[in-house]
Structure formats: structure tokens, C-alpha cells
Amino acid sequence: MPVNAYVVETQRAVVIIDSTLTVSDGRALRSIVGDIGKPLEAILVTHAHPDHYGGAAEIISDAQVPFVAAGGVDAVIRRDDEVKEQIIRPMFGDEWPHERVFPNHTINDGETVSFDGVPFTVIDLGPGESPHDSVWLVGDDRKLAFAGDSAYEHVHCYLADGFWESWLANIGRLRSELPTAAEVYFGHGAPTSSPPFDWQEDYIATFVDAIRTADWSDPEAAKAAVVNAMTDYLPAGDLQFLMELSVEPVARQLGLIGAG
Ligand SMILES: [Zn+2]
């Protein structure tokens, strides 16, 4: 699963931000931390999607360290765990951890937790790309940001949760709240120093428009037309399956196909 996790190394410790989806990737992340040789002080999670917290089970199952989330992120992870199990188990088999671990410490919008003297502050965004998104800012000057999936770095996107209007509003909020020249790290795609917010807005508009203009009297043909339009828009296809998973839920939400 192409997803980013980050290891922040401080003077005497390390902090993980997001922890991948699979057992293998969680173990790989644990071994990166092991190679650094400093104690793991915390895992922070940006949002409520399994590709950002599943692997934590391989990292802190045997050691109790703070696993920190905005309250809403924690609540959605717990609420949706059973549904995610049903969706992900058939796709990933034993690579989806059988025992997930959940955050054990929650904080509110604008609050800070410090590890090894370094402050980590959360911007709690609420619904957006997932049912609950947040961004972590690091350091007193907040010039380092871990922004989860609040924008994708030019890869196909997941819109199936249906909160794209709040997602667009979140982008507006981040434009004003992220310090200028902040280094921003996203959950998918390469690291960037210029957040792809314009591109993300355009991708969302293009996707929703492709769904609205498709002829849903033939749902299979309509879905193919949307997928064609989006792969024309963005030919590179690492995460194309996330976009494909989103077509029917969004069409249903727009009332273009019946429920069920
Ligand atoms: Zn993701």
C-alpha cells in the first residue's frame, strides 16, 4: 500500500507520525526506529483512515507508549474498526493486523503535546478526506507540518467518505493557518515544500463533475466513463483504486444512483 509514515528524530528520542496499513510496513517502520537507536516516545496519527494507523499494532503492541490523536480522529477509528475489518481483510488478508491498537491519548484543536522537549500541536479539521482529519505542526515556529491526506501530492484520491465540501473548506483553513514556507509532508506522494492545495481543489472538482455529467442510466458505463476521465486527468496511477472505490459512493450521495 503506497502510504507515507514519518519518523521525527529529536535529540534523545523519536516520534512516529502515522504508521502505515500493513503488518509488513508496520514492522519496517519499527525496524527504522530500532536502527536509529533512540527510544520511541510517541505515535501520532493524522486522520481516521486505516492506512495511517493499522501498522501501529506492530510497533507498540509490546510497549506502552503514547498513541495520540485528536479526539474526533480517535472516535472515528474506534467507531469504524469493525466496518474497516470487513473491507480490508478480504483485500489484504493477514497483512491487516488481527488486533488493532487504538489511540490512548486524545487532545483538542490547538493543543500541544511535547516529547523530548519538542512541541507537537494539532489542527483539528473535522470531516474532510476522512470522517475526521487533523494536521500536526512541529516545533515552536511550526514550520514543519504533517498534513495527512488533507491534500494528495499528485496521486489519485479517496473521496468515498463523501465529505468533499468540508475537505475544500479545510484546504481554505490550512491556507491561512499553515505558516508560510512551512515544510509540509502528506500521506501519499513525495514530500513537498509547496502544498498542492490548488491541484487538490481541481482534482475534487474534476471528479465530482465527471460523476455529475456521466449517464447513470447505465451504471457500469457511467463508472467506466468517470474512471476514463480521471485517468486522462491524471495518467500516473499508483492509487487509482482509491479513486475507483469512490465513484459509486459519490454517485449515490449525489442521488444519481439508488441506495444499496
Ligand atoms: Zn491515506
- The Å distance, Cα 95 to ligand 1 centre, comes to 17
- The Å distance, Cα 20 to ligand 1 centre, comes to 9
Number of domains the chain is built from: 1
Question: pLDDT for 174-223, tens place per residue?
Answer: 999 998 888 999 999 887 778 899 999 999 999 999 999 999 999 999 99
> Which residue range(s) make up the domain with 39?
6-194
Question: Does some domain include residue 165?
Answer: yes
pLDDT computed for residue 258 by the predictor: 79
Question: Does some domain include residue 206?
Answer: no
Measure the CA angle with vertex 64, ends 58 and 69; round to 5°. Answer: 80
Question: Does some domain include residue 27?
Answer: yes
Question: Does some domain include residue 258?
Answer: no
Which residues are placed with Cβ below 5 angstroms of ligand 1, an ion? 49, 51, 149, 187
pLDDT computed for residue 51 by the predictor: 96
pLDDT computed for residue 182 by the predictor: 87
- Identity of the amino acid at 4: N
Question: pLDDT for 60-108, tens place per residue?
Answer: 975 689 999 999 999 999 999 999 999 999 999 999 999 999 999 999 9
3-state SS assignment for residue 169: helix
Question: Does some domain include residue 239?
Answer: no
For residue 212, give every residue at least 6 positions away whose Cβ sits within 8 Å of its Cβ, in sequence order, or none. 254, 256
SS3 per-residue string spanning 74-127: HHHHHHHHHHHHHHHHHHHHHHCCCCCCCCCEEECCCCEEEECCEEEEEEEEEC
Question: pLDDT for 103-144, tens place per residue?
Answer: 999 999 999 999 999 999 999 999 999 999 999 999 999 889
pLDDT computed for residue 241 by the predictor: 92
Question: Does some domain include residue 120?
Answer: yes
Residue 41 is part of a domain; what is its CATH number? Answer: 3.60.15.30
- The Å distance, Cα 34 to ligand 1 centre, comes to 25
Q: What are phi and psi of 124, to 5 degrees?
A: -90, 110
Q: For residue 38, how many other CB atoms are within 10 A of its CB?
A: 16
For residue 230, give every residue at least 6 positions away whose Cβ sits within 8 Å of its Cβ, in sequence order, or none. 156, 206, 207, 210, 240, 243
- The Å distance, Cα 140 to ligand 1 centre, comes to 27
- The Å distance, Cα 118 to ligand 1 centre, comes to 26
> Percentage of the chain with pLDDT > 90?
88
- The Å distance, Cα 52 to ligand 1 centre, comes to 6
Question: Does some domain include residue 109?
Answer: yes
Question: Does some domain include residue 213?
Answer: no
The mean per-residue pLDDT over the stretch 170-176 comes to 95
